[in-house]
């Protein structure tokens, strides 16, 4: 089967590696990811956030199945262009991906279909309304309505301490986007729950916890994600009721979108938080998470090509996942996220990585003159997998040591010390 993937990050490297096991893979990338290029029979370089450019790049070629991965590509309508070229498509249309690129649409969908889990929220388009809502809610999260790469949300206590700071940030987003979403601040432990959907049914993947904060101890500014871990069907701080409630919400969203005549086919990502009042919804994404894709795809025991085909044909298969534990740690350039070093050479001791049992996924790097160079964003995802979290964390940490150059990582992700703090916090929240 001839399969086309659009995207060139570590998430797409993990997807491409799994697809290439049983298909003839081609790819469209914005910059040459050397690992994806090696997995591909053919590849093209163009602006993957320009749907027409992607269409022109593959013009005259025939593929059986296509999958557009990055959020900005989905928001630009790349899936629609792939479908118009004649292939089956396993990623959501621009209209369906709106659940990610328009947070106002997402909250409205939940309200109209009476789906549980939404916090108090309001969309406003004037500073005086922002001040009113912030005063009414007290502790808040201030969110841009569009795509932010995980970096646009600011929260009381972490980023704000005075009401004027909150209003000023809300006003800056109103000036930029025309409106802003203000929500009550949710307190608890977050988790990612992803599923495959054929527009009617879902098949869930193992839950994952991502770490957005740049520095150890979950401190510092938000990033696209510094690493993540999974531990089978539930995370250490989860109860079975949490998993069941999140799964019910995911299925309800898929039903709601179908009922609205806008079926969601692809990977639906729910970002949830367990609070004292149950499971709440932070956001939805219309694609695999990054780094969470590396966790779950490494555990997938069936053909990803077959799963994607079943999505595209509207006959979802039920893939199996291992109950092993996984830990991903992101290597990022010096100065990240504030002033990251760009165009710096890095090297990987492939034999050392293999000997450690880890796997390395190439993220925002590019190849030039035989060298691998940084772009300023996250550079490599390093994955450890084992029967226990402790063992998976040690493998990932060892794997990081074989990447040399001006890069660094959070060494605490997946450690028993950090997870123990989360367990204590969740125990306190549950009362």
Q: Are residues 176 and 195 in the same domain?
A: no
Q: Are residues 412 and 323 in the same domain?
A: yes
Directed axis angle between helix 103-112 and helix 240-259, to 10°? Answer: 90
Q: Is the predicted pLDDT of residue 151 greater than 80, yes or no?
A: no
Question: In Å, how far are 100, 215, 227 from 335, measured between CA atoms?
Answer: 29, 12, 17
Q: Are residues 167 and 270 in the same domain?
A: no
Q: What is the DSSP string of 52-68?
A: HHHHHHTTT---SEEEE
Structural domain contains residue 425: no
Structural domain contains residue 390: yes
Mean model confidence pLDDT for the chain: 95
- Identify the pLDDT of residue 150: 62
Q: Can you give the CATH number for the domain in which 71 is found?
A: 3.40.50.20
Q: Are residues 125 and 250 in the same domain?
A: no
Among 153, 184, 215, the domain boundary falls at 184
Q: Are residues 404 and 323 in the same domain?
A: yes
The residue segments making up the domain with residue 87 are: 2-93
Mean pLDDT of 284-312: 98
Split into its structural domains, the chain has a count of 3
Region for residue 137 given its phi and psi (left: phi exceeds 0; alpha: psi -120 to 50; beta: otherwise): alpha
Over pLDDT 70: what percentage of the chain? Answer: 99
- Identify the pLDDT of residue 298: 98
Q: Can you give the CATH number for the domain in which 173 is found?
A: 3.30.1490.20
Q: Give pLDDT tens digits for 380-427.
A: 999 999 999 999 999 999 999 999 999 999 999 999 999 999 999 999
Separation of alpha carbons 175 and 347, rounded Å: 43
Please list, residue by residue across 92-131, b when 16 or more beta carbons sit within 10 angstroms of its beta carbon and e when fewer do: bbbbbbbbbbbbbebbebbeeeebebbbebbbbeebebbb
Q: Are residues 358 and 295 in the same domain?
A: yes
Structural domain contains residue 423: no
Among 141, 158, 184, the domain boundary falls at 184
Structural domain contains residue 104: no
Among 164, 184, 204, the domain boundary falls at 184
74: nearest Cα among 58, 99, 97: 97
- Identify the pLDDT of residue 12: 98
Structural domain contains residue 339: yes
Q: Are residues 348 and 294 in the same domain?
A: yes
Return the half-sphere exposure (C-beta side, CA atoms, 13 A cut-off) of residue 401: 11
Structural domain contains residue 114: no
Structural domain contains residue 102: no
Q: Is the predicted pLDDT of residue 149 greater than 80, yes or no?
A: no
Q: Are residues 16 and 161 in the same domain?
A: no
Structural domain contains residue 429: no
Separation of alpha carbons 371 and 385, rounded Å: 28
Assign 165 to helix, strand or coil. helix
Q: Are residues 317 and 278 in the same domain?
A: yes
Separation of alpha carbons 73 and 275, rounded Å: 33
Q: Are residues 259 and 212 in the same domain?
A: yes
Question: In Å, how far are 76, 290, 369, 382 from 341, measured between CA atoms?
Answer: 29, 21, 19, 20
Q: Are residues 78 and 200 in the same domain?
A: no
Q: How confident is the model at residue 184 (pLDDT cuts 50, 70, 90)?
A: very high
Q: Can you give the CATH number for the domain in which 378 is found?
A: 3.30.470.20
Q: Are residues 193 and 306 in the same domain?
A: yes
């Amino acid at each position: 089967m001839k399969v086309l993937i659009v995207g060139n990050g570590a998430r797409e490297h993990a997807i491409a590696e799994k697809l290439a096991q049983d298909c003839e893979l081609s790819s469209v990338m914005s910059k040459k990811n050397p690992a994806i290029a090696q997995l591909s029979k053919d590849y093209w370089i163009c602006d993957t956030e320009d749907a027409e450019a992607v269409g022109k790049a593959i013009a005259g070629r025939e593929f059986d199945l296509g999958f557009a991965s990055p959020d900005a590509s989905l928001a630009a309508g790349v899936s629609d262009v792939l479908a118009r070229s004649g292939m089956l498509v396993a990623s959501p249309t621009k209209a369906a991906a709106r659940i990610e690129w328009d947070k106002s649409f997402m909250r409205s969908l939940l309200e109209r279909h009476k789906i549980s889990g939404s916090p108090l929220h309001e969309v406003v388009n004037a500073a005086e309304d922002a001040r009113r809502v912030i005063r009414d809610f007290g502790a808040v999260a201030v969110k841009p309505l569009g795509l932010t790469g995980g970096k646009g949300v600011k929260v009381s206590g972490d980023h704000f301490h005075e009401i004027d700071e909150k209003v000023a940030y809300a006003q800056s987003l109103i000036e930029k986007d025309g409106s802003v979403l203000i929500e009550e601040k949710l307190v608890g432990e977050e988790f990612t729950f992803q599923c495959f959907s054929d527009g009617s049914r879902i098949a869930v993947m193992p839950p994952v916890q991502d770490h957005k904060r740049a520095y150890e101890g979950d401190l510092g500014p938000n990033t696209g994600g510094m690493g993540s871990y999974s531990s089978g069907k539930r995370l250490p701080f989860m109860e079975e009721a949490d998993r069941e409630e999140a799964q019910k919400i995911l299925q309800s969203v898929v039903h709601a979108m179908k009922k609205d005549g806008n079926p969601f086919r692809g990977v639906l990502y729910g970002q949830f938080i367990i609070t004292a009042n149950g499971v709440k919804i932070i956001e939805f994404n219309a694609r695999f998470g990054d780094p969470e894709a590396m966790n779950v795809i490494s555990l997938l025991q069936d053909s990803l090509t077959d799963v994607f085909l079943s999505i595209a044909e509207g006959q979802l298969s039920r893939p199996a996942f291992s109950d092993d534990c996984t830990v991903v740690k992101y290597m990022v350039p010096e100065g990240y996220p504030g002033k990251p070093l760009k165009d710096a050479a890095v090297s990987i001791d492939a034999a050392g990585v293999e000997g450690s049992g880890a796997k390395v996924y190439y993220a925002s790097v590019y190849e030039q003159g035989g060298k691998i160079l940084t772009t300023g964003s996250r550079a490599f995802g390093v994955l450890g997998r084992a029967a226990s979290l402790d063992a998976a964390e040690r493998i990932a940490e060892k794997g990081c040591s074989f990447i040399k150059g001006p890069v660094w990582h959070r060494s605490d992700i997946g450690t028993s010390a950090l997870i123990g703090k989360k367990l204590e916090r969740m125990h306190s929240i549950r009362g």
